[in-house]
Amino acid sequence: MTASATQPFRVVFVCSGNICRSPMADVVFRWFADASGLGRRVASSSAATGDWHVGERADSRTLEALARRGYDGSRHRARQFTSSDFDRNDLVVALDHSHERVLRGWARSEGDADKIALLMSFDSSAKSLDVPDPYYGSPAMFDEVLGMIEGASRALFRQLEPAIRSAV
């Protein structure tokens, strides 16, 4: 994971369908990058391990949870992770162990596998390394999941920020 003076640091967040957790993580991480003044030095995106929702907007409950906290997820469109995502990104962030296993299975090399991390592994106060899937839950669960993602995304950005800043 290195930052470059000529290229932005690139991160992709990955969950099952790319309509709940990974869009939240992308929007929140992007907010931290923009708020720090480093938005142009960071490129973030999100993707799915499955193809069920390709082309769709984020789940309405995701968009509502984001809006309640002042984020805008309206531009999101779901897509599936491809092997070229390993080439395009410096960091591939899985939202739970099942996504991590799938991504490791898709890794074509040790270099690809070395880019994979669990989002919650960056949050030292996390009680679990898995972000629960809120899809079958209530709006309150979407808010709870967003809170987990905010904490871990903040910790991830704080870890990356010195390298990104020094590459400017």
What are the residue numbers of the active site?
15, 21, 133
| Residue in the block written with tokens 């809120």 | 134
Q: Strand locations in the chain, DSSP E?
A: 9-15, 42-48, 91-94, 116-118
3-state secondary structure of 10: strand
Using a 10 angstrom Cβ sphere, with 0-12 exposed, 13-18 middle and 19 or more buried, the burial of residue 23 is buried
Rounded-to-integer distance, Cα 67 and Cα 65, Å: 5
Give me the sign of the Cα torsion angle 62, 67, 71, 73: positive
Rounded-to-integer distance, Cα 51 and Cα 67, Å: 26
